[in-house]
Amino acid sequence: MSTQEDIQEKKKRISVWIVDDNKSFCVVLSEALNRSNSITCDRYFHSSRQAIEFLETNNHPPQVILLDIKMPGTKGVDAIESIKRIAPSTNIIMLTSYDFDTDIRTSLKRGASGYLLKSSQPMDIIRAIQTVQKGGTPLDPMITQRMTDAFIAENPESDAYNLSAREREVIRWISQGMNSAEVAQQLSITYNTVETHIKNIFHKLNVSNRHAMVAKAIKERLI
């Protein structure tokens, strides 16, 4: 294989880190991942602390982190927010040996992109990494079912901000690219009212400008 092809190959591969206290699990999984031609497992860590420290001093975060939920020291669930703060664009897939509803929910709430059982086949994990890079939410079917049942009854996070229908409507048009004047015309209300709605949304979502509002609304599916 020539150097050029080699570089091209590397570019295509999805970069992945593993964070798991079980050393042999890390070795086995990283080898399996590297055998696939779409993923490179750059490195693995045996504690959240080590991974976060490396992330902070290094300016090349991976595209995906596989994060064990149950570890000595900082728990996986607690590491999510730190990781997301340092590397907002890195997708996190949680790995777990057991399945407590609360942990699943907490993880997804804090920014994890997926949730898999450690008993999954390497092929399933590879597929999950690919899925998450394309924007999907890889969840073990067992977990999906459990989540669906548990989540659907109560109100999801989406309702936590108490946005009114009108406010959501304003966000929708704003996210289409309209400015306040255009939204006003669209909704047949005055410019001032639109501005008031936006100010109220800012408070409810705890943001201070439109782009953050749009980002939060889309990411948290408020609109």
Partner DNA sequence: GCATAAATACCGGGTTCCCGGTATTGATTC
Partner DNA sequence: GAATCAATACCGGGAACCCGGTATTTATGC
Nearer to a second copy, 97 or 148 (CB): 148
Nearer to DNA, 9 or 53 (CB): 9
Residue 81 sits at φ, ψ, to 5 deg, of -65, -40
Four-point Cα dihedral 158, 97, 17, 122, nearest 10 = -110
State the Cα–Cα distance between residues 218 and 158, nearest whole angstrom. Answer: 10
Report whether 143 contacts 99 (CB < 8 A).
yes
Q: Residue 106, interface with a second copy (CB under 8 A)? A: no
Q: Residue 150, interface with a second copy (CB under 8 A)? A: no
If binding means CB under 8 A, how many residues of this protein chain bind a second copy?
A: 37
Q: Residue 135, interface with a second copy (CB under 8 A)? A: yes
CB 97 → a second copy: shortest distance, Å?
23
State the Cα–Cα distance between residues 45 and 55, nearest whole angstrom. Answer: 11
State the Cα–Cα distance between residues 115 and 132, nearest whole angstrom. Answer: 10
User: Which partner in a second copy, DNA, none is near 26 (CB below 5 to 8 A by kind)?
Assistant: none
User: Which partner in DNA, a second copy, none is near 86 (CB below 5 to 8 A by kind)?
Assistant: none
CB 207 → a second copy: shortest distance, Å?
6
Binders of DNA among residues 177 to 216 (CB under 7 A) are 179-181, 187, 189-193, 195-199, 202, 208-210
Binders of a second copy among residues 152 to 181 (CB under 8 A) are 152, 156, 168, 172, 174-177, 179
Q: Which two tokens stand for residue 66?
A: 């596989």
Nearer to a second copy, 92 or 213 (CB): 213
Task: List Cβ<8 Å contacts ≥24 apart for 145-150.
Answer: 146/99, 146/101, 146/104, 147/101, 147/104, 147/105, 150/101, 150/105
Report whether 202 contacts 217 (CB < 8 A).
no
User: Which partner in a second copy, DNA, none is near 161 (CB below 5 to 8 A by kind)?
Assistant: none
User: Which partner in DNA, a second copy, none is near 172 (CB below 5 to 8 A by kind)?
Assistant: a second copy
User: Which partner in DNA, a second copy, none is near 10 (CB below 5 to 8 A by kind)?
Assistant: none
Q: Of 18, 59, 69, give the one whose Cα is nearest residue 40.
A: 18
Q: Residue 82, interface with a second copy (CB under 8 A)? A: no
Q: Of 129, 124, 107, 108, give the one whose Cα is nearest residue 219.
A: 108
Q: Kindly state the DSSP code that residue 155 receives in the 8-state scheme.
A: P
Tokens 């992330």 belong to which residue? 55
Chain residues binding a second copy by CB under 8 A are: 38, 88-89, 127, 130-131, 134-137, 139, 144-145, 148, 151-152, 156, 168, 172, 174-177, 179, 207-215, 218-219, 221, 223
Chain residues binding DNA by CB under 7 A are: 162, 164-167, 179-181, 187, 189-193, 195-199, 202, 208-210
